[in-house]
Structure formats: C-alpha cells, structure tokens
Structure 1
Amino acid sequence: MDNQILLDKPSSRQWWWTKIKDFYQGLLISGLITFIIYCALGASIVNVLRDYELVLWAVLIFVVFFLIYTILASILYAFGWLIDAALNDNESERLRLQLFATIYWAAVTIPVLAIGFLVYIVTKAPNSFIL
C-alpha cells in the first residue's frame, strides 16, 4: 500500500455516496420513533410522577438535539468512508457492507437507547430530573 491514503478512489466514493440516502432515511425514522416513544412515555410514566405537558419548547429542544446528533452521525458516516478508502485495497464489497451495517445500526439505535436511559433516570430519581 502507498504511503498516501487513497481517498480519491471513485468506486469507494460512489459506493458510499449511493448509500447515504439509506443512512439518512434510517436516521429520520429513528428520530420519529424516538420522539413517539418520548411522547408516549412522557404521558404515561412521567405523568404519574408529576405534571407532564408536551410543550413547544420541549419539541424544539428535541429537534435541536436531534439535528446535532445527525451532524455527529454524519461524521461517523464519513469515518466509514475514510476507513474504506484507506484499508479496502481490493474493493471488497463484503467489507463495505459490514462497515456500513455497523455504522448504520449504531447510528440508528443510539437515539432510542438515549430515550431509554432518560426514562431510567426519571424513574429512579424523579425529583432530581426535570423534563
């Protein structure tokens, strides 16, 4: 392998560019599912602990945090392309698919796990956490 990282391989770039639509669709679906879980759990679990209302500022905060998360997930996606370009000398489709699947499922499940963690914190220490 050369000392130069092969970032300009057209096949690597094209492959990752065609998959980015699937990646963002997964993030969008994950965000919607996370928001639905947040609303449902907020109405059921948090309402038992104290008054709960889904107000506009809470929705806006959720959207802002999800946009920040989307930027971080995009950086993770870019690392996948860089790893592929640097290490995949024989253009292995199998390696690309495994790398994409790992990054995709990590990025899609993190928001849902974060809501689960939030629910855990609220139910364990209800008076010390404000939604």
Structure 2
Amino acid sequence: MTRTDDRARVGALGEQLAADFLIESGLRVLARNWRCRHGELDLIAADDTTRTVVFVEVKTRTGDGYGGPAQAVTPVKVRRLRRLAGLWLAQHGGGWAGVRIDVIAIRLGRREPEITHIQGVG
C-alpha cells in the first residue's frame, strides 16, 4: 500500500467520523465530497432547527508532524471554501436563513478518535 493510499484511507475515515458526529449533533448531511471545477467541499450539512446550511472542512491527522488539524485551514483555504459554498448555493438554493463554514478536526491514533468542531471559521 502506498502513502497516497494510506492518506486517502485516513481521509475517508475522518470524513465518515465527521459525518457521524454531525448526525449525532442533530444535523442532516446533504452531500459528501461535492466537487466542481474549482474544488471540493468535504461535507455539506443542514441544521433544520435554524435553517442553516453548514459547509464543513474535515481535517484528519494521525500525528502532530504538520501541526494540528485546525491549523491547516488557512485564510486562503477559508476564501476558497467561501467561493465553493457560493457556487453550491447558486446551484442548490434552498432559502437558507443562515450559512456557516465549520472545521471538524479529527486526531487519530489514540484509543478513541479526538474530534474538535470549530464553528464559523469564515
């Protein structure tokens, strides 16, 4: 198995854990890995109680070699996520009362995955 395969497997596991976390938190997952020619959104969820659509960037790490997962979401990355969110909204509409960009940081390698949900990053 190559390093790329390992990274893809870790990323897929992180996205599944993040989706499960959102569902357990009362959100409804609308899409996973939504792609367009400008990039990809990891997860798109709806908070039906507040009519808010939530665009979620998932960062999964197995160690601290590259800093914590949340540090990987730079201002440049946030701008790209905002652009992608705008494109998704233009295609899907939905009359949302609110829009939010969140990060779910997942650290693997411990007994239980450590999940941190950072709301409203951009």
Same fold by TM-score, threshold 0.5 exceeded?
A: no
User: Which structure is higher in strand share?
Assistant: 2
Whose Rg is larger?
A: 1
User: Which structure is higher in helix share?
Assistant: 1
**Relative CO higher for 1 or 2, CA cutoff 8 Å, sep ≥ 6?**
1
TM-score with structure 1 length normalisation?
Answer: 0.29
